A and B are shown apart, each in its own frame.
Chain A
Amino acid sequence: MTLHEEITALLQGDVTDPERVAELMHVLAVSPEKQSIFIEQIQLTRALTSLAGSITPPRRADHAIWQGLAAVDAAIAGTPQGAPVNASEPEPAEKPAAGARLGARFGTRGGAAVASLLLMGLLFGVAYMLPGGTGIGERTNSAGSERALPGMVRRATAADEVMLASAFMAAESPQLHSLTDLRSQLADLNARYQAQTHLVEALRSRGERVRVVYRDRPAVDRVDLQDAGGNGPQDRAMQPAAPKQLESEPQGQSQAPVAIARVEPRAPVTSMRSNAGISEQPETARRIAMNGSSPLDEDLPAASGPWQVGVRDQFRLSLPRVYGLAGNRTILFDKELLVSYHFGGENSLLSAMRLSLAAGETQFAQIFHTNVGGQPSDSIVMQSPSLQYARLLLAPELVRTKSVTGALEIGAGLATSQLKPVGPMASFGVNLEYRPIDRFSINVGTSAWMLWSQHLTSTVVSTNLNGHLGFAVGF
């Protein structure tokens, strides 16, 4: 421990051993230089104390808070009995849409919008590709989960109706008080608005009946749809159970689509929150308040702990066919063992990411160039022998939903042949992790690998392109 640390510890009350205190005092007494450090620390502490006393909340902020109370009271009083309470204001553990988080990592609000669109496109693609469903609408209706598309669609019952909530409802909420919140939500809302527009186009292109409702009145927090018993979809959508809770038919005064209803005949009575994307927040805040714990757990992938052990099958796709050599295959399968640790995330200073240590065996495509005796240069392509390798993978997350995580994978390591070093290697790829059940995940992805090895006096860069499929168990 340096003297500086010891002085700090002394002033913080961490040094309790009388002999150590006496020794330290003696050192301070005989050394002017060390006295100076000691005095500066005391000065600093005094300045900090003085600073603490000088910072007081501005009156206008206090005033705004008291005004805010009235708005909250009004909102609470105006909420129908039994209706979900408005949660349009993000709670402490604010968890923006995954796309917006990605955008924030890119550092711009525009990035957030682009990232949200990318995320929505990915979700649409997955919905179309998964077997057993014919598209977004069917999947949202047939899924067991209440949430259909994160932050955008909330399904009310097991069938029939999908209400896409307008981001503008949240923007119009009287309970948004701060510019900070508005700025951050605006970027999110723009992205959601575009995503909704795309969804409408997608549904329409598939022949779905979609009705876009334009708002010309202040936002509502809740939308009720009632079975009108034989009324057509258009009529039913126009008949609110509680007139104050359902927006009117478009008046042409605003071009912002606020709600998109896709209604089939004979739908049961449904009730849904319109501000779906952040409706879970009160529960999060409650847990924080009760436990005083960090909301970090909320941000970890839902179905796994921080540690994972997994196996991957590496399908090497790019090994060129080496003609004339018996037994060469262009696609090979190798196992790779990984141990991973997940860290960072929301409420942490680091972005969510995974650090993995992986080991396995692989082969590379090696290309040598020859120029012997004034002959033209030839390229010789060979398949390397099987090399054992170990690599460290850093995988910052790009997108994350409750059950799917997409991440970059940047790796570096060392390849050996029969325990003799061959050279350093690096890899760069993407991985998609799907968690169907607790503690179990399926991984799929692709990556490009490079190996630097020495051939005679020159360095040879060997490559391969891998696809991988694997699984991991979390704990």
Chain B
Amino acid sequence: MLATVHHVTNDDQLLAQRAGEGDHAAFGTLFERHKGHIYRYCRLMLGDDDAAADIYQEVFINFYRACRTGQVMHNVRGYLITAARSRCLNSLRSSQRLSTLEDDELISYSPDETASDTRDHLQKALGMIPPQYREALVLFELEGYSYDEISKQCDISLGVVKNRIYRAKQALQKILGPILREQRFDESGENEY
């Protein structure tokens, strides 16, 4: 798990207020602080560089416009991730990629020959699991959100959050198991435990 810990600080609110006055440097500070999370979320949710970049741009430009039009940003990170989430869901919905995958389909996955390393495999595997599981896993493991934060963000119960993370991991392990085992053998030089 990433050790990233986010704090909603008054600093963000102050910077957003200054950005609202046209201070690009203040916006730049906020942008640098949050851009990685937002792009990563979009990229992993959509699995597509171009679509992720589009939404990433929209989110920040809209954020800036909102600041300029006098909106008070009490929670910059919450605003950004909510905006990104809403757009990603719209995009997935419009491309009809919200259907869930059954376990049988996961089992039938065969490692992609074009994937060059574990990261590639992992990205492709993430794209295979249902978006709601993927979202919970991305927010928890990659963005450092707590269960409680994910619960509020996605408007689901804590139990459902935990279950989704667990199921996401289980699905990934099912998909990537052979690759991980192969990698382990390669590293250890052994053929069996």
Contact = CB atoms under 8 A, between A and B. Distances in A.
Interface of A: 4-5, 8, 11-12, 14, 32, 35-37, 39-41, 43-45, 47-52, 54-58, 60-62, 64-65, 68-69, 71-73, 76, 85, 89-94, 104, 107, 175, 177-181, 184, 282, 285-286, 288-290, 292-296, 347-349
Given A68-B61, A94-B86, A292-B74, 13 more contacts: A40-B177, A41-B173, A43-B184, A45-B141, A48-B142, A49-B2, A49-B142, A55-B39, A175-B65, A177-B58, A286-B72, A290-B74, A294-B82
Nearest to B4: A52
User: Of residues B61, B83, B180, B181, which shows the largest number of chain A Cβ atoms within 10 Å of its Cβ?
Assistant: B61
B173 to A, nearest CB: 5
B119 A89 contact: no
B14 interface: no
A289 B63 CA distance: 10
B21 to A, nearest CB: 11
Interface of B: 1-2, 22, 24, 27, 31, 35-36, 39-40, 43-44, 49-51, 53-62, 64-66, 68-69, 71-76, 78-79, 82-87, 89-91, 93-94, 96, 98, 118-119, 122-123, 131-132, 137, 140-142, 152-155, 162, 165-166, 169-170, 172-173, 176-177, 180-181, 183-184, 193
Contacts of B132: 349
A163 B146 CA distance: 49
B180 A43 contact: yes
Q: What 7 pairs across the A-B complex have the smallest Cβ distances?
A: A92-B83, A292-B78, A68-B61, A289-B79, A57-B39, A178-B54, A61-B53
A89 B62 contact: yes
B7 to A, nearest CB: 14
A286 B66 contact: yes
Given A8-B169, A43-B180, A89-B65, A68 B142 contact: no
A184 B94 contact: yes
Contacts of B61: 65, 68-69, 71-72, 89, 175, 177
Contacts of A61: 39, 53, 56-57
Nearest to A70: B24
B6 to A, nearest CB: 12
Contacts of A348: 89, 155
A282 B62 CA distance: 10
A55 B44 contact: yes
B58 A181 contact: yes
B172 A44 contact: yes
A49 B122 CA distance: 11
A289 B74 contact: yes
Contacts of A92: 59, 62, 79, 82-84, 86-87
A41 B184 contact: no
The DSSP consensus for interface residues of chain B is helix
B72 A290 contact: yes
A199 to B, nearest CB: 27
A44 B169 contact: yes
A52 B142 contact: yes
A402 to B, nearest CB: 20
A27 to B, nearest CB: 15
Nearest to A184: B94
Contacts of B141: 45, 48-49, 52
A62 B142 CA distance: 21
B26 to A, nearest CB: 12
Nearest to B71: A286
A295 B170 CA distance: 30
Given A44-B173, A57-B35, A184 B90 contact: yes
A39 B188 CA distance: 13
A55 B1 contact: no
A85 B69 contact: yes
A349 B89 CA distance: 7
Nearest to B121: A47
Contacts of A295: 82, 86
Contacts of B140: 12
A68 B65 CA distance: 10
B68 A73 contact: yes
A152 B145 CA distance: 40
A55 B170 CA distance: 23
Contacts of A104: 93-94
A180 B137 CA distance: 25
A288 B79 contact: yes
User: Of residues B56, B58, B72, B153, which shows the largest number of chain A Cβ atoms within 10 Å of its Cβ?
Assistant: B58
B152 to A, nearest CB: 7
User: Of residues B39, B56, B68, B82, which shows the largest number of chain A Cβ atoms within 10 Å of its Cβ?
Assistant: B82
Contact of B122 (A51, A71, A294): A51
A47 B79 contact: no
Contact of A290 (B44, B75, B87, B184): B75
15 contacts: A8-B170, A11-B1, A12-B140, A44-B173, A44-B180, A47-B118, A47-B180, A54-B119, A60-B53, A65-B57, A76-B68, A89-B58, A90-B62, A177-B57, A179-B54
Nearest to A178: B54
